[in-house]
Amino acid sequence: QTVRFKPPPYNSDIGWRVEFRVMEVMPTPFENAAFSIFLILFVKATLKYGTVMYAPMSLVDQNMGRAHRRDPCSQTYHFRANIHAKSITEMYVCEMTIDEIFNGKDLSMGGRFEGLIPFVQKYVAEENLNDPKIAAYLKFISLRASGQLMTTANLFRKFIVEHPDYRHDSRVTQKIGKDLASFASHLAETQVWPDYLPAELTGGTAKPFVYGAW
């Protein structure tokens, strides 16, 4: 459910491919660029270092079930800790939070799982890809994974709950929906919001949001 093999098109020299299928469109260009660039760098790093990230499909299915719950970043997920193993059969899968998967974790068996962000940062350094934008993208993903920056779902939920017209009855009125659409447009334009997208990362300029201004 997270990746799939794509067969070669008929009568072409294109080989088998692996397609990542879990990305969603984010409200801002900065976020979309961050996740797209991270994914490209992650794939290139995986190919360079020959990492092994296989895990039993039964555990992958459990992960998908947990990811569908409310506030999925607070869940733990089965993830392979020894990604630099020389063999597929040398498998050590443990449960980690999103923070630990991306930023690293000390293992109960000893040693440390480096985390996907340091893994990609090592590739960036070795390939001399040091660029302020790449650094900002990786920092952003690291902060969001750690919970220091809220997710889009939590931001929009907070917006609705704190809306002046919300009556805490699970009803999103037409006015609330319109203001939420206006807020999303505001985010896309400014790319700045406290606890979501800090200006020091995006380089954007904060502007106050006014309810009903759209």
Sequential DSSP letters for 134-188 = HHHHHHHHHHHHHTSS--HHHHHHHHHHTSTT--SSS---HHHHHHHHHHHHHHH
Are 174 and 184 spatial neighbours (Cβ–Cβ below 8 Å)?
Answer: no
Q: Which two tokens stand for residue 203?
A: 């380089």
**The pTM is what?**
0.88
Q: Give residue for tokens 């994974």.
A: 145
pLDDT above 60: residue 214: no
- Per-residue pLDDT, 22: 66
Q: What is the pLDDT of residues 70-114, one digit of tens each?
A: 888 889 999 999 998 877 778 889 999 999 999 999 998 788 999
